[in-house]
A and B are shown apart, each in its own frame.
Chain A
Amino acid sequence: MVTETTQTPVYTISKSDKRFIGWHVFFAVAALTIGSLFGPLQALQQAGIDWYPSLDFLFINIPEGPAAYYQGLTLHGVLNALIWTTFFITGFTTLAVIRGLKRDLAIPIMNRIGFWMMVVGLVVAAIPLLGDSASVLYTFYPPMQADSLFYIGLVLVVVGSWIEGWGFYITLYRWRKENPEEKTPLIVMAVVLNMVMWQIATLGIAAEVLGLILPWTFSLTNGIDPQLSRTFFWFTGHPLVYFWLLPAYASWYTMLPKQAGGKLFSDSLARLAFWLFLILSVPLGFHHQFVDPGVPAGWKFIHSILTLGVFFPSLLTFFTVVASLEYAARQRGGKGLFGWIRALPWGDPSVAAQLLAGILFMFGGISGLANASYNVNLVLHNTTWVPGHFHLTVASAVTLSFFGISYWLVPHITDKPLWRPNLAVASSWVYFAGMLIFSNAMHTVGLLGAPRRTPLGLAPYVPDEWNGHLFRVAVGGAIMWVGLMLFVVVVAVTAWQRKRFADGETVDIPLAESLDDPNNAPAWLDRWKPWLIATAVLIILAYGPQLLDQIFGIELTSPGFDPGSPIPNN
């Protein structure tokens, strides 16, 4: 389907909007490309192979040994987990809103200002990152202290994404005024809901950076409260995972069924799942703080239960998406209880990438349940199990889905055919194979006790039983990088080749019909107010008392530390 062209697109996005979306994809892929250079270096480092010096040309201030590892890990996390995702998501959301509502953005200049603010933020944050003065990892836990430019850059990226979000809300608001009888298209509801959830969630990081970290880095306060900072961070940090995932879900629900040759199994189930994600994504951050001494056990238990609650909309998503795919496969002649899987269009680069994303994500869901379980978590807390898990979510479900989206989106916005579709299919399979090896090894060695965020290749205490697994980490990481580079080459050549579609021909945006009539969906699935109220109430109940306790007990006493030194900065 991805290479299927049409002479009669349902709705044509303007050239200027296509260019605007293209800028999002450009910065996203550029960040992914640079950030991913460090992935295999860390994986090789775990096996005792140090290739960091080969990237000296990228650094303003060349570090050595563990410092290089931490600088590389920070760049990898920030560029891949924060920048690649945020830029791609805001670009995809722009396209989904315009195409879904079949109208231009209400205030295009607002979205443009937001986007370019994100770009400025990226550049500002990149300066200390490349200069080794912000190697605090993407979680930037105080009392580790980075150059203030790093935090200012992140603030600009987040505020820029908020401004883009406001542009989407106003566009949807005007559309609803103009079309009072129509239900909001599912894809628009999904991506706008994601921006709403993001704006609620990032209030935590805004409070942390603006209220605690920046005054601290400007020496307006004598120190910082690491516990409160971590609580604010994880208010944002866990829903951040859903901010990454929901656009992938939007594609799986509203696009993949059509690409596979079928229809969405149930529009109503899909809407219900998205609303539940809005309600449940935020109030569960304490499950990242199970060993934090400053959070009482009762609150950790409540957040553990709420985290398990998110599994319900996740299972709804699993069922609805797989049922949609089964319907498509049977329309294509698929037979048997499992034999229909073979009938899916695995040769389509966009479909293959998203199917492989879904398969890896199933394992990510399983390891996530272990993370969320209060006592079981103690077996794997702060081990390599955790990055093994989130490579199955953000680096698999999300990243491979974005590969798949890119394989039709880049041809659509450039009016150029996808370059080498077979190579595009291969990119996803290579990446998938690498991830299977890498994530399995990370989970296994984590269960054996290997700590995360540690250059194990330099550590003197690594027992022999870890070595085979750490070697598999290196092999898997290197294979993943090859798959990722194939993706980058395919989309870059597609965008910059001279070959164009014939006049009037284009790749249409795949939007699936639903097996049930969306207009028959209950009205409460198209109302924002009750769901927003429920979201606010649950956040207040789950966070309010404990957050107030931490705020009233604040102790701004911890000095800042350079990540490479045990001596306080001042």
Chain B
Amino acid sequence: MTTESDNGNEARGEFKPRGTVAFAAAFVALIFLMWFSVYIILLSRGATT
């Protein structure tokens, strides 16, 4: 009742969020890419303790 219930008549199983999965994969790849670019800067400035 969030949300006003639709009695669950519409099966979520019929909808496959393929675009969302692809979008999420691209986002995670971007995260790694940008995080490691900062990490490389950290290394280039010398080791830290």
Please list the residues of chain A having a beta carbon within 8 angstroms of any beta carbon in chain B: 10, 182-187, 253-254, 263-267, 270, 315, 318-319, 322-323, 326-327, 330, 336-338, 340-341, 362, 365-367, 369-370, 373, 375-376, 378-380, 447, 511-520
Assuming the contacts A322-B20, A520-B8, asked whether A185 and B35 have C-beta atoms less than 8 A apart, the reply is no
Assuming the contacts A265-B17, A326-B19, asked whether A379 and B41 have C-beta atoms less than 8 A apart, the reply is yes
Shortest beta-carbon contacts, A-B, top 4 = A517-B8, A186-B2, A323-B17, A515-B12
Contact B3 A185 (CB under 8 A): yes
Contact B17 A327 (CB under 8 A): yes
Name the one of A264, A365, A376, A379 contacting B2, with C-beta atoms under 8 angstroms. A264
Name the one of B6, B24, B30 contacting A513, with C-beta atoms under 8 angstroms. B6
Contact B48 A263 (CB under 8 A): no
Point out the residues of chain B lying under 8 angstroms from A373, CB to CB. Answer: 35
What separation, in Å, do the CA atoms of A74 and B20 have in the docked complex? Answer: 40
Name the one of A187, A318, A378 contacting B42, with C-beta atoms under 8 angstroms. A378
Point out the residues of chain B lying under 8 angstroms from A10, CB to CB. Answer: 4
Point out the residues of chain A lying under 8 angstroms from B27, CB to CB. Answer: 318, 362
What separation, in Å, do the CA atoms of A341 and B26 have in the docked complex? Answer: 15
Q: How far is the CB of B45 from chain A (nearest CB, A)?
A: 7
Point out the residues of chain B lying under 8 angstroms from A319, CB to CB. Answer: 17, 20, 24
Contact B45 A379 (CB under 8 A): yes
Q: How far is the CB of B28 from chain A (nearest CB, A)?
A: 8
Point out the residues of chain A lying under 8 angstroms from B18, CB to CB. Answer: 337
Please list the residues of chain B having a beta carbon within 8 angstroms of any beta carbon in chain A: 1-8, 10, 12, 15, 17-20, 22-24, 27, 30-31, 34-35, 38-39, 41-42, 45, 48
Contact B23 A511 (CB under 8 A): no
Contact A517 B17 (CB under 8 A): no
Q: How far is the CB of A202 from chain B (nearest CB, A)?
A: 28
Contact B3 A513 (CB under 8 A): yes
What separation, in Å, do the CA atoms of A46 and B5 have in the docked complex? Answer: 52
What separation, in Å, do the CA atoms of A187 and B1 have in the docked complex? Answer: 9
Assuming the contacts A265-B12, A319-B24, A338-B22, asked whether A378 and B2 have C-beta atoms less than 8 A apart, the reply is no
What's the dominant secondary structure at chain B's contact region?
A: helix
- The CB with the most chain A CB atoms within 10 A, among B10, B23, B34, is that of B23
Assuming the contacts A511-B4, A514-B5, asked whether A366 and B20 have C-beta atoms less than 8 A apart, the reply is no
Contact A447 B22 (CB under 8 A): no
What separation, in Å, do the CA atoms of A471 and B32 have in the docked complex? Answer: 29
Contact B45 A513 (CB under 8 A): no
Name the one of B17, B31, B35 contacting A326, with C-beta atoms under 8 angstroms. B17
Point out the residues of chain B lying under 8 angstroms from A367, CB to CB. Answer: 34
**Closest Cβ neighbor of B28 among chain A residues:** A315
**Closest Cβ neighbor of B39 among chain A residues:** A376
Point out the residues of chain A lying under 8 angstroms from B30, CB to CB. Answer: 362, 366
Name the one of A266, A336, A378 contacting B12, with C-beta atoms under 8 angstroms. A266
What separation, in Å, do the CA atoms of A506 and B7 have in the docked complex? Answer: 27
What separation, in Å, do the CA atoms of A184 and B2 have in the docked complex? Answer: 8
What separation, in Å, do the CA atoms of A393 and B9 have in the docked complex? Answer: 37
**Closest Cβ neighbor of A447 among chain B residues:** B41
Q: How far is the CB of B33 from chain A (nearest CB, A)?
A: 9
Q: How far is the CB of B21 from chain A (nearest CB, A)?
A: 8
Contact A518 B41 (CB under 8 A): no
Contact B5 A518 (CB under 8 A): yes
Contact B34 A185 (CB under 8 A): no
Assuming the contacts A337-B19, A376-B38, asked whether A515 and B1 have C-beta atoms less than 8 A apart, the reply is no
Contact B34 A370 (CB under 8 A): yes
Q: A330-B15, A518-B2, A520-B8 are in contact. List 20 more A-B contacts (CB 8 A).
A: A183-B1, A254-B2, A254-B3, A265-B15, A315-B24, A319-B24, A322-B17, A322-B19, A322-B20, A336-B19, A337-B19, A338-B19, A373-B35, A379-B41, A447-B41, A515-B12, A516-B8, A517-B7, A518-B3, A519-B8
Point out the residues of chain B lying under 8 angstroms from A185, CB to CB. Answer: 1-3
Assuming the contacts A319-B24, A366-B31, asked whether A263 and B42 have C-beta atoms less than 8 A apart, the reply is no
**Closest Cβ neighbor of A365 among chain B residues:** B31
Name the one of B1, B15, B24 contacting A519, with C-beta atoms under 8 angstroms. B1
Contact A514 B24 (CB under 8 A): no
Q: How far is the CB of B12 from chain A (nearest CB, A)?
A: 4
Point out the residues of chain A lying under 8 angstroms from B34, CB to CB. Answer: 366-367, 370
Contact A511 B3 (CB under 8 A): yes
Q: How far is the CB of A313 from chain B (nearest CB, A)?
A: 14
Point out the residues of chain B lying under 8 angstroms from A186, CB to CB. Answer: 1-3
**Closest Cβ neighbor of A315 among chain B residues:** B24
Contact B15 A267 (CB under 8 A): no
